[in-house]
Amino acid sequence: MNRQQRRRQAAMARHNDFYERYVRHLPEAGPEVIGKPGVSHMVFLHDERCPFYDGKACNCDPQIKFFAEPQRS
């Protein structure tokens, strides 16, 4: 595996790790959370072949999901 392939694999792993370990467990919301008070996350799920993981512009049709942090006291 050459350096470029290793970098691509590492970028994909970071992206997937953030989703799997943290964001996926938050309640999913709709686009109405944008602009409201509180913390929300917009997650882009790219295709495996997307050049985004090579550090280039995205040319796939990513799935966009919104997640909202629960209110904390």
Residue-wise pLDDT tens digits, 7-31: 888 888 888 888 888 887 888 888 8
Q: What pLDDT is attached to residue 71?
A: 74
Find the domain containing 20 and state its range.
Answer: 3-68
Residue 26 lies in a domain: yes
Task: Tell me, yes or no, whether 58 lies in a domain.
Answer: yes
Q: Is residue 24 part of a domain?
A: yes
pLDDT surpassing 80 at residue 73: no
**CA-to-CA distance for 22 and 42, rounded, in angstroms?**
13
Number of domains present in the structure of the chain: 1
Interval 43-47 mean pLDDT = 87
**55, part of any domain:** yes
Q: What number is the average pLDDT over the span 58-65? A: 89
Beta bridge partners of 8: none
Q: Is 7 helix (H, G, I), strand (E, B) or coil?
A: helix
Q: How much is the pLDDT for 47?
A: 87
Tell me the two tokens of residue 72. 């904390």
